[in-house]
Every structure is written in C-alpha cells, then in structure tokens.
C-alpha cells in the first residue's frame, strides 16, 4: 500500500519537556489511522507538526512524499484539517461558510459543489441555518465539510467528537466511515477508546510523548489485551479444582469459575480440554478483551475523558 504519511524519530522539545519523543509511524492510503492517548500525551503536538503548524526539534516528517521542512506549501493544498478547537462563523449559514473558506484558498466552488459537500456530511437540511444555531455535532460536521474543500487526499481530524453527546458522536462516525469508503485517508486523534476500535484500521497508543503500542485493533487486543476470559456458569468449587488440575489460571466469581486464556492460545482448544476432563458446569460464556483493556495494560489506568484513572 502507498505510504501517505511517515515520520522517523520525530521529536519536539519545549525546554525541559519532551512533548513528542522519537515517534516513528506510517499511514497508508485509504485507511483510518487513529492516535489515542490521554491529555498531554503529545497527540495534538504531533498532529500540528504533520499539519505544518509547528516545526519539529528533530526527526523527519513526510506527508504525501513531501518533506514538511523543505516544501510545506506543496502539502498545504493537498490536506484537509479539522482542528480540536473549531467554531464556525456564527452569522454565516453552512453554504456561506464553505464558500468563504474555499475562497480563502483560491478554490471558488459552484453552488452545486457546496450543496453536494454539505449533503455528504449530513447537513443537507441545515443550509439555511446560521452557524450560531447549529448543534455541537452539526458544527463538527460543518468543520469536516470545510476540511474537505479542495478534495484533499489526506484529512486530519483532531478529537472531532470531544464534548458531543453519544448520538451526535455516532452520527459523526458514519460521516468518517463514508469518507473512508470514498477513498480518503484519515488521521484521527481521539481519547475515546470505543471510537478508535469502531473506526480505525490501525491504532497507535501514545503516552508521555511515545507510541507505546501500534497495530490493528484486533492485533493490539490479541497481543496486549490480557487474553479472553472463559466463564463456566455454576461450576462451583468442584469445577474450580478440576480446572486448576488442568494447569489453567482460574478464580471463583460467585458460583461461576473464570478462566483467563493467555494471548495466542485458542479458546476452542481450552474448551475441548475442559470437556474431555468432564469439568462440571451449567453453561459457558466468553468475555473478549477490548481496546480499553489494552490501554489499561500499556498505560496503567483507564482513559476517562482524556484523563488516566486507576
């Protein structure tokens, strides 16, 4: 696959603070690449370097094959950006905002092009509403529309759903999925683990300026999620002893027995061993780890609204 964004040893230092610490990453054409982490992890600084808004202290950064330090102006016309702090002009309607934004970059758009763009992001019925009267989710949709002016190859979305209610957040997820289907490459920063798991082809977990884990959600869950938990309903103490005799790590939860299956070990093989050993139980269930478990194992806490908590 074509590499559209690449960094090698990317570093940004402010005095005694290393905000971005030797970050290596690659983003491929047509994928959603999600960078997640707590507030202060270095996500926004990394994105601002890639957008050409900040210079790195050291390291390399290439966007669409172009070295940002040498030819930033060549990149600017080929990317779209929705910053973390975005507010549309209160006294402009969505078509006016998009048209004005396009004129700032010398890309005058016809009325039909503007209308089609607003339809794409789900604002087709809001074209006569002032920006001040749009909901939080609608304002974010307008921001994505403005980021799409000029039909960019790569789109940066910096925490686009922060502060939105669950319904508005999921509405934006559909917009992002539609953009991916249209062949756009999306660099998405977020501190919502569910969002990254739902949308991303690949994920990078960033903490204290470093990428501590990266890969597809399934790869990260398999390698760092702690393994699947197999639940033997109603197995009781007798079931626990029988499971432990098989060399499996297990514990009681009421009358149920929970067995932790190590990463890379197949669940069906464990179930087969339990069945052959005639371990008593009434029913069987599995609890699969999620990206939140990966984050806990790699960072040492849960991520709640951008803050790591025990």
> For the chain, what are the domain ranges?
3-223, 227-288
Confidence at residue 226, expressed as pLDDT on a 0 to 100 scale: 87
Note the pTM of the prediction, 2 decimals.
Answer: 0.89
Confidence bin at 145 (pLDDT 50/70/90): very high
Between residues 209 and 263, the one the model is more confident about: 209
CATH code given to domain 227-288: 3.30.70
Contacts of 38 (CB under 8 A, 6+ apart): 191, 207, 299, 303, 306, 307, 308
pLDDT digits (tens, 9 = 90+) for 48-88: 999 988 999 999 999 999 999 888 888 887 899 998 888 88
Cα 294 from Cα 303, distance rounded (Å) = 11
For residue 204 the two structure tokens come to 């990078």
Confidence at residue 104, expressed as pLDDT on a 0 to 100 scale: 84
Q: Is 159 left (phi over 0), alpha (psi -120 to 50) or beta?
A: left
Is residue 263 over pLDDT 80? no
Task: Match domain 3-223 to its CATH number in 3.40.640.10, 3.30.70.1150, 3.40.190.10, 3.40.50.300.
Answer: 3.40.50.300
Confidence bin at 150 (pLDDT 50/70/90): confident
Q: Mean per-residue pLDDT for 251-278?
A: 91
Q: How much is the mean pLDDT over the chain?
A: 93
């Amino acid at each position: 696959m074509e590499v559209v964004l690449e960094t090698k040893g990317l570093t940004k230092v402010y005095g005694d603070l290393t905000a971005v610490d030797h970050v290596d990453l690659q983003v491929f054409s047509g994928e959603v690449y999600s960078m997640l982490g707590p507030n202060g992890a270095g996500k926004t600084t990394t994105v601002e370097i890639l957008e050409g808004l900040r210079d790195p202290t050291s390291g390399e950064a290439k966007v669409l094959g172009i070295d940002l330090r040498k030819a930033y102006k060549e990149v600017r016309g080929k990317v779209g950006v929705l910053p973390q702090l975005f507010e549309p002009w209160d006294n402009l309607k969505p078509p006016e905002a998009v048209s004005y934004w396009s004129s700032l970059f010398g890309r005058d758009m016809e009325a039909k092009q503007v209308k089609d763009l607003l339809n794409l992001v789900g604002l087709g019925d809001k074209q006569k509403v002032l920006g001040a009267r749009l909901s939080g989710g609608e304002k974010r949709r307008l921001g994505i529309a403005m980021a799409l002016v000029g039909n960019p190859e790569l789109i940066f979305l910096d925490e686009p759903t922060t502060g939105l209610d669950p319904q508005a957040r999921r509405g934006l997820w559909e917009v992002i999925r539609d953009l991916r289907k249209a062949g756009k490459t999306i660099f998405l920063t977020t501190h919502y683990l569910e969002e990254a798991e739902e949308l991303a082809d690949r994920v990078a977990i960033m903490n204290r300026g470093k990428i501590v884990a990266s890969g597809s959600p399934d790869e990260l869950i398999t390698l760092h999620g702690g393994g699947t938990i197999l639940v033997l309903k109603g197995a009781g103490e007798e079931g626990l002893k029988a499971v432990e005799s098989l060399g499996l790590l297990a514990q009681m939860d009421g009358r149920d027995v929970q067995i932790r299956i190590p990463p890379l070990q197949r669940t069906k093989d464990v179930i087969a061993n339990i069945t052959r050993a005639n371990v008593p139980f009434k029913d069987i269930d599995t609890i699969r780890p999620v990206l939140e478990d990966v984050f806990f194992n790699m960072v040492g806490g849960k991520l709640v609204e951008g803050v790591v908590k025990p």
